[in-house]
Amino acid sequence: MALPLARTLSPLLLADGRIEALFWFELGLTLMCLGAVALLRLPPSERTPAFEKIDFLTFALLAPGVALLCAVLVQGRIQWWSTPWLGYALAVAIPLIGGALLIEHNRANPLLNTRWMLGRNIIRFAIVAASLRILLSEQTFGTVGLLTVVGMGNDQLVTLSLVMTLASIAGVVVSLKTLNMQDLYKPVVIAVALIGLGAWMDSDSTNLTRPSSLYVSQGIIAFAALYFLGPMIMIGVFRALARGPSHIISFSAIFSISQTIGGLAGTALLGSFQIVREKYHAFELTQTLTATDPQVVQRIQQLGGAYARVLGDSALRQASGAGLLGQQVTREANILAYNDVFLGVAMLSAAMVVWLGALWLRFRLKGVNPLAGDLAAVQQMRQKQMS
């Protein structure tokens, strides 16, 4: 919810051109958070020592490894993947992360329980969580990029961001109202289907597409983004609690890393795909533009006519018109590439719906709750604590 809300508020704070108003607003939010933490104390609970000295070694290996991996994912599509230092960073990140996991794997009291994390259900949970974050990059990368290409700035995106914010709030409310501990997979399947539907609706964008054209599709995706989150967290939490409170740290690590890496990987994947498709469409479009085509010549003359008052030389006007035509070709190629991105997200969503839907349908037909054992274990733990 943070990104669309920030896009809604930031242009209003910057309306008078004073950027310090934005920083004052951030400072005010920070002070409000500090006050809330001081006033709303956590209730008394069980406290047990959770950290050991060797945990700092794990952190010293894992933190830079994940940071280097994130740097590769962020800079890959910008510097492009053939840049040498990206390979060096990845070559360092892999042994650092592997060393941290190896230490945890051979500890009697691990901070990250790798044996539990490598279980089939937990791996499936991590894959689904990361995949959903990749699909949601359609909104954070694709939609904003498309509207930027057609000339929309932050001021023109306020209403669209507000629609996305309200849809996100609706997703939270509906998720809470419909949460069913006996059927937590159903909302995830519905959310993936909604993301695919929204992406498919965006896949026919043109240079006339404006923020108002995306209210419905982006509202659907924003709703799905938070509709699935509650059930997904509940699935992971109960699988962790069933093995003991110590597994909560492992679950937190899996969920946070899958969301972070999934979000960065989604932007990197979709961004790289968009660049490749833009080059392809630009080549295809320029192949049809020849100097002997009367329509091309007429178009160049029309575009060059915009400079008639400032350029008296007809050759310069023609060169300027050709430059403007090249810019239009680049814009159209980018729009077609973003359409390919949206269509690709829709296809990936359809594949995930088939996979997750088949799992959910199998559980329903067999009358099996995949979390039944975990829920029973947590219930027994509560009864022992109460007694």
Summarize pLDDT for 247-265 with one digit per residue, the tens. 777 788 788 888 888 888 8
Of 118-122, 302-306, 347-351, 370-374, where does the model show the most confidence?
347-351
CA distance 35 to 235: 32
Tokens 């609970």 map to which residue?
A: 45
- Three-state DSSP state, 230: helix
**Residue 291 — pLDDT band, cuts 50, 70, 90?**
low
**Residue 35 — pLDDT band, cuts 50, 70, 90?**
very high
pTM of the model: 0.82
For residues 6-35, give the mean pLDDT.
86
Query: In this structure, how many other beta carbons lie within 10 angstroms of the beta carbon of residue 82?
Result: 8
For residues 339 and 203, the answer to whether their CB atoms sit within 8 Å is yes
For residues 75-93, give the mean pLDDT.
88
pLDDT of 371 reads: 72
CA distance 344 to 334: 15
CA distance 139 to 118: 31
CA distance readout (Å), 222 to 17, 209, 342: 30, 19, 15
Q: Over 90: is that where the pLDDT of 30 sits?
A: yes
pLDDT of 182 reads: 78
Q: What percent of the chain has pLDDT over 90?
A: 9
pLDDT of 373 reads: 73
Query: What's 307's DSSP letter?
Result: G
Could you give the maximum distance between any two Cα atoms of the chain, in Å?
94
- 320 contact partners, CB below 8 Å, separation of at least 6: 303, 304, 306, 307, 311
**Which region among 206-215, 267-276, 299-308 has the lowest average model confidence (pLDDT)?**
299-308
pLDDT of 237 reads: 80
Tell me which of 202 and 110 has the higher pLDDT.
202
Q: Over 70: is that where the pLDDT of 243 sits?
A: yes
pLDDT of 307 reads: 62
Q: Over 70: is that where the pLDDT of 304 sits?
A: no
pLDDT of 313 reads: 61
**Residue 157 — pLDDT band, cuts 50, 70, 90?**
confident
Whole-number average pLDDT of the chain: 82
Q: Please name which of 190, 218, 221, 191 lies closest in space to residue 205, comparing C-alpha atoms.
A: 218
For residues 270-298, give the mean pLDDT.
79
pLDDT of 2 reads: 81
Helix locations, 14-142, DSSP H? 20-39, 53-79, 84-105, 114-117, 120-137
In this structure, which long-range contacts are made by residues 252-259, counting pairs with CB atoms below 8 Å and at least 24 apart in sequence?
253/112, 254/117, 254/122, 254/125, 254/126, 254/129, 255/129, 257/66, 258/126, 258/129, 258/130, 258/133, 259/129, 259/130, 259/133
